[in-house]
Amino acid sequence: MRYIKKAFLLITTSATLLSCSKSNDEPSSKARLIFKFKFDPTQIRLNNIGQPSTIPAGNAGQSPVFNLMSSHYIELAPNALTQLGAGTVLFHAAETTEGGANAIDFSKNKAVGNGEEFFRIPLKDIKPGDYEWLRVSLAYQNYDITIKNKNPLDPNTTIDVSGTVASFLGFNTFIKTFNIKNTSLAVNANKKQGFWAFEVLGKNFSGDAAKTTVVNPISTTSPIPAGSCVVTAAFNKKLTITGNETKDIVVEVSLSTNKSFEWKEVVADGYFQPDAGETVEDMGVRGMIPTIK
């Protein structure tokens, strides 16, 4: 899947693009809107239209231990009728054509861990108003999973081992090299949404086109371009920006990792066994809850 180019032309022409530069003006100008990620394996598991989702027969899933997540785009939307790009766009990550088609520049894409800040902006630089919805386009995720693997010392037996998945969620990403955990992978090319790499027992391998669920409960009035990972959710309460705030506003962006790593089973035992021919079915996060702290 990939972004529809016209959608982002709309974003850059009709949305309010905002500067993140620091200010030394009056005290109120120091107040900031701050976003932090939270990864929650107990949060409700949703499908792509925001409804509770169960794992289909023949598949299995586990809740990964998240190490890193990055974003590509952040937008505040006044209401459910606000089209993508017509709200207040706070952030649009660096892109490049070094790999050919336009793509996210992974070398400039900031990834952070659980509870860490991934974006801030002075409140005085945001268009005043009331905002009910948040859109965050996710770009990259890195997490640990448990698999059953052939025992290197005895191929007739299996062992439980930890592996690390690096998964690219953006519409298109230009990647030079990147670290998975203890190993690195050279790509030097654009990769579409669904590109992934996996490290286990000191070795790594990669693949393309893993399915990515993108949760958007207002898809009927504000459809998300094909190929994007713009996750959409309502704030826990209305976010009101006046531009005269004297204190920071912190938004905790909680992402559901509830069995977000899903695979098609060959051996029906609830363990991911790539050696047995089991294949990844879905790598998307399963919902977002933005909470104003």
What does the pLDDT look like over 79-100, one tens digit per residue?
999 999 999 999 999 999 999 9
Judge whether residue 292 has pLDDT over 90. yes
Judge whether residue 19 has pLDDT over 60. no
Judge whether residue 26 has pLDDT over 90. no
What does the pLDDT look like over 95-137, one tens digit per residue?
999 999 999 999 999 999 999 999 999 999 999 999 999 999 9
Give pLDDT, residue 15.
39
Q: What does pTM read for this prediction?
A: 0.87
**Strands annotated E in 106-208:** 111-112, 117-122, 129-151, 154-168, 172-179, 184-192, 196-200, 203-207
What does the pLDDT look like over 71-80, one tens digit per residue?
999 999 999 9
What mean pLDDT value characterizes the chain?
89
Residue 81 CB burial class (10 angstroms; 0-12, 13-18, ≥19)? exposed
Judge whether residue 43 has pLDDT over 70. yes
Give pLDDT, residue 150.
86
What value does the mean pLDDT take over residues 223-239? 91
Domain boundaries, the chain: 5-292
pLDDT band of residue 29 (cuts 50, 70, 90) is low
What value does the mean pLDDT take over residues 240-263? 96
Q: What is the DSSP string of 77-90?
A: ESSTTPPTTSSEEE
Whole-angstrom Cα Rg for the chain: 20
Q: Is 122 helix (H, G, I), strand (E, B) or coil?
A: strand
Q: H or E element: which one contains 58?
A: none
Give pLDDT, residue 152.
83
- Measured at the CA of 190, the angle between CA 142 and CA 18, to 5 degrees, comes to 75
Judge whether residue 199 has pLDDT over 70. yes
Judge whether residue 13 has pLDDT over 60. no
